[in-house]
Structure 1
């Protein structure tokens, strides 16, 4: 008797594990065509992070928005049809509930630009963004009014379908744009309606509080249907980023509503918020988090610390990062403790924050109470990044509390380097990763405005000839680093001198990655043999960032490479200058010019 072929298939969990290891998006699209089972598994996987896949492509983002628009209700379809929007190309019911899979939502002018979509729905052929602008400019006043009305309606209906269907959101990025202006009122209206219909009995309040205080999103799935729409949208949120938001009441109310609904965010990134009112709302959002681990405060241009002061107060104040439960429910979550034990636990309690990043912030007016909070509560900080900040010496009192710091990344001005050397001396035999860059010129005035091309994160001023005094100071910094940070594995430095590099090689025996620029006013040939003889055995990659002038000859490089091959055969080079590539290949050393990272 012939046996039928086995119908056994991979479990969905196994297939998802396989898909997670596919690096190319085109491979995922190919998987859609294998069979129906594969399709049902791959589609949710693809639609978890559609905007990440789309990247900066407006065309791909527009395709995603078109797909989401096809998920609108029948009533919404009728509204759009009555407004002159042709919905015939969309099926009445899509094969998949695409929005329900969404976990990473990015809202900005690039991702949610509905103007090309409306032209398409009106059967107006366009080939480029430039052509769109031309068509908008030649519209009559009446056509322009109709077009704006249609645009607003499409954005409102998209907002509705997102608000209703997006229940698994883990990451949210919002930047000021037309769509956000239509989304926020919908969220606020939904929240008000649900608050109006919410039961107010003491037992119902307790249940709602329990739902909001549970750290596990999976445990809340059974009760998600009873939660309001805005709570469903934000309940599973773990990462939040915002930037350049309008300083108006709806935006403030929206952030305050998030503070009431979001309790389990791990990472908050705030870009270009200069308004004190929005700073207060974001401070409330920060203070309501129970598991916050990363704060990234980022200005594009230089601003004073005043807006972020509120956020820091809320972050480091004793009363925050605590779940407040009614007395009759506290015993369900923690054992009964004696008064002495409670006092001891409350005094030892530390925040969960372990990563802090400040960008383009003027720190000279930071208040003492804020520093006191930081000193007390930053004792678990693992990563500190100060990117192009002014007056980082103001943070000197913080140094003693950063005893567990592993990662230090600083771009600063030369006069602030004393802060770094003091920091190395005080804290940190624990430092594993140091990324230190500096500018020689003076810091900007607070009112100075910069273009993107001038941001320090992207470019550095070319170093000027260094005086004897600066050379001595430079060697002193490297000497302190080598003496106190002996466990460093990854190191990025600005212009370096031969004796400094030799000291690094001899002292930092655990070094694995090193990125440096050789000082071009020094003849390195006399040091190349000694440098090669002292290359750390654990060093896997060294990057020489000089692009034009190399301060050593072909012979000097050959001497260095010959000694390196005797000690460290697996060493790879990052080499931006093409002049000596053939020499490096001759010694069978791999060239990998990937970006320096931790």
Structure 2
């Protein structure tokens, strides 16, 4: 029966398989299933985030042994001349495993080499060779092997390498795209992630990427060196169809060129995540509209209260999701301008901090919202009262601020009938207040499709529901849950 499934359909099914255990089981079905599964499995060793205990990591590191088995005579001879014990690695592999490495996390190769060498090198051998020379040789030979056998790499992540522990690798990593054949393999790159490696010796890699790759869809960039900011601005600018961009500037002082590079993608960019970006030098008068952007995430960015930053906020006319998180200055005008510009197109909002004016702006502009999270009121308190225009709100998570009485909050809150889940952080409340709250939300016995989650405050950490509370909950049929104080 299994052999009757068209190969194209089988590939799609197995590509969506979330369990490696199931993939290993599919190897045993028949030859066709095995042939389809092997390429999927062998994208994972270097292309999937790797974690686990020592035993698990040692098992995953055995991919290095398999790659060695795929090497030609010249490469194997080089390893033997450098005192590698290849007795556990066969001279020939069943499949061309390096050709399946279309996704590449540089830290996986570095860490797997380190783990594998610990298993095959005896303690009486030269320590310098074991810790410096041999890892470098093996890294370069495996990377060359993949470049020679693989037709394309569509995902490349510069993560998992730490200068303190892997200092001797940095120059090799910086020059890998200078290897023969590397430009052709990387020209179809669609996802690029850069993090943890901040060293001047990485400059050749960045410069090569700018020349080679112009069709990237997803970028996740982190930097804290001047040359990286310059490179990333150019790298962003040359892309033709960038859709998802994340920037972590690590509080770097000048991000103006980086921000202005975003304008080149006003018709393709769908998601933008800015973290620790400083808007101090931002000149936004000619920024224009990013008409394609649907999701905007802003975390701990600086100087958003500048007048030029309002030009940035007024650029996102099609925004449907807005996430804002800060422990810094609070740019109220900037946030309100986001709401005013996106208006009824905005469907999801998360604010880790808000003011009364912010809540009023939501009521005024964002009437089509379906999910709203408001945490940590800046001062005073507010009782949410939604008018009849909010007919699509489904989920509401809320913290009222310091000083509000939980009974007062429940009695005066006005929620739309469309609301399915509400989560509130509040103190002690009585059964009568709970009843009034339910009366304004749903009819008796008809709350089975609604869920009310209460998250205790510090003052209510010992609060427990009484029989009267349970009676009201049962009467209205609402699903009720009281979370512990420190639960997420």
| Class of the TM-score when normalised by the shorter of the 2 chains | 0.7 to 0.9
The partner residue of 1:419 within 318, 324, 334 is 334
The partner residue of 1:266 within 199, 217, 238 is 217
The partner residue of 1:252 within 196, 203, 212 is 203
Q: 2:320 maps to which residue?
A: 406
- Asked if the contact 2:320/2:342 (under 8 Å) is kept, the reply is no
**1:569 equivalenced with 2:448 (yes/no):** yes
**Residues 80 and 576 (structure 1), Cα distance of their counterparts in 2 relative to 1, 3 Å cut:** farther
- Asked if the contact 1:166/1:233 (under 8 Å) is kept, the reply is yes
Quote the Cα distance in structure 2 between the aligned partners of 1:78 and 1:260: 34
**1:161 equivalenced with 2:145 (yes/no):** yes
The partner residue of 2:268 within 338, 342, 352 is 352
**Which sections of structure 1, spanning at least 5 residues, go unmatched?**
1-5, 125-138, 191-228, 322-349, 440-473, 594-598
Deviates more, 1:357-366 or 1:41-50: 41-50
**Residues 111 and 503 (structure 1), Cα distance of their counterparts in 2 relative to 1, 3 Å cut:** farther
Q: CA deviation at 1:104?
A: 2.1
Quote the Cα distance in structure 1 between the aligned partners of 2:146 and 2:481: 47
Quote the Cα distance in structure 1 between the aligned partners of 2:127 and 2:45: 33
The partner residue of 2:407 within 519, 522, 525 is 525
Q: CA deviation at 1:482?
A: 0.7
**Which sections of structure 2, spanning at least 5 residues, go unmatched?**
484-488
**Residues 151 and 21 (structure 1), Cα distance of their counterparts in 2 relative to 1, 3 Å cut:** closer
Counterpart mapping for 1:472-491 below 5 A: 474-491=355-372
Counterpart mapping for 1:353-502 below 5 A: 353-366=269-282, 368=283, 371-374=284-287, 376-394=288-306, 395-412=309-326, 413=328, 415-438=330-353, 474-495=355-376, 500-502=382-384
Q: 1:333 maps to which residue?
A: none
Quote the Cα distance in structure 2 between the aligned partners of 1:530 and 1:435: 23
- Asked if the contact 1:498/1:524 (under 8 Å) is kept, the reply is no
Structure 1 length as normaliser, TM-score?
Answer: 0.68
Q: 1:540 maps to which residue?
A: 420
Instruction: Let me know the Cα RMSD of the aligned residues.
Output: 3.3
Counterpart mapping for 1:84-483 below 5 A: 84-108=83-107, 112-122=111-121, 142-175=126-159, 176-177=161-162, 178=166, 179=169, 181-190=171-180, 229-248=181-200, 251-271=202-222, 273-299=223-249, 301-304=250-253, 306=254, 308-316=255-263, 350-366=266-282, 368=283, 371-374=284-287, 376-394=288-306, 395-412=309-326, 413=328, 415-438=330-353, 474-483=355-364
- Asked if the contact 1:51/1:61 (under 8 Å) is kept, the reply is no
Quote the Cα distance in structure 2 between the aligned partners of 1:576 and 1:527: 14
Q: CA deviation at 1:174?
A: 0.6
Quote the Cα distance in structure 2 between the aligned partners of 1:505 and 1:521: 24
Quote the Cα distance in structure 2 between the aligned partners of 1:379 and 1:7: 47
3-state SS in 1 of match to 2:221: strand
- Asked if the contact 2:452/2:478 (under 8 Å) is kept, the reply is no
- Asked if the contact 1:554/1:580 (under 8 Å) is kept, the reply is no
Q: How many residues get paired?
A: 456
Structure 2 length as normaliser, TM-score?
Answer: 0.82
Quote the Cα distance in structure 2 between the aligned partners of 1:111 and 1:554: 60
Q: CA deviation at 1:573?
A: 4.1
**1:13 equivalenced with 2:12 (yes/no):** no
Q: 1:3 maps to which residue?
A: none
- Asked if the contact 1:62/1:117 (under 8 Å) is kept, the reply is yes
Quote the Cα distance in structure 1 between the aligned partners of 2:108 and 2:13: 34
**1:512 equivalenced with 2:394 (yes/no):** yes
Quote the Cα distance in structure 1 between the aligned partners of 2:360 and 2:304: 21
Q: CA deviation at 1:505?
A: 6.6
